Structure formats: structure tokens, C-alpha cells
Amino acid sequence: MQERILRRLRNGSIMLFHSGAKNTPDALPQIIEAIRAEGYDFATVSELIHPRPYTVDFEGRQHKGG
């Protein structure tokens, strides 16, 4: 699980973890540590969403400006 997440991680990535999933609770502390070790930080979705004007790139990521 951790390898798959780190391989796909980019600035602005939104991760969804299901709290009822069997392996998530045990894996999450190591995943968070690995993400921070890569130099990333965490933000809420509200902090990531840019007010208009914005553009959306081919990967679905939102960028400031029109």
C-alpha cells in the first residue's frame, strides 16, 4: 500500500483512506512518516481548492490563474 501511494504522490494529491479497511489503521502511521520524509506536508481539501480564476491540468489538478 505504501509503495503504491508514494509512487503516485504529487503536489496537491488528495488521498482517501477508508477507516473500515482491514490494513489501513496499521499502515497509516508508516505512510504518514514516509510522506513527510519525502518533504510533503498535509492540508485539508478546503486549503487545496483555489478560488476562481483557476485552471485544471490534464491530471485533474487545479492551478491558480485563468
Instruction: Decide if pLDDT at 62 tops 90.
Output: no
Q: What is the pLDDT of residues 18-46, one digit of tens each?
A: 878 888 888 999 999 999 999 999 988 87
Query: Does the N-terminal peptide bond of residue 29 adopt cis geometry, omega within 30 degrees of 0?
Result: no
Q: Where are the beta strands (DSSP E) in 1-66?
A: 54-56, 62-64
d(CA 65, CA 53): 5
For the record, the C-alpha cell of 30 comes out as 508508516
Instruction: Decide if pLDDT at 66 tops 80.
Output: no
Angle at the Cα of 15 (from 9 to 20), degrees rounded to 5? 135
| Strand partners for 63 | 55
d(CA 61, CA 58): 7
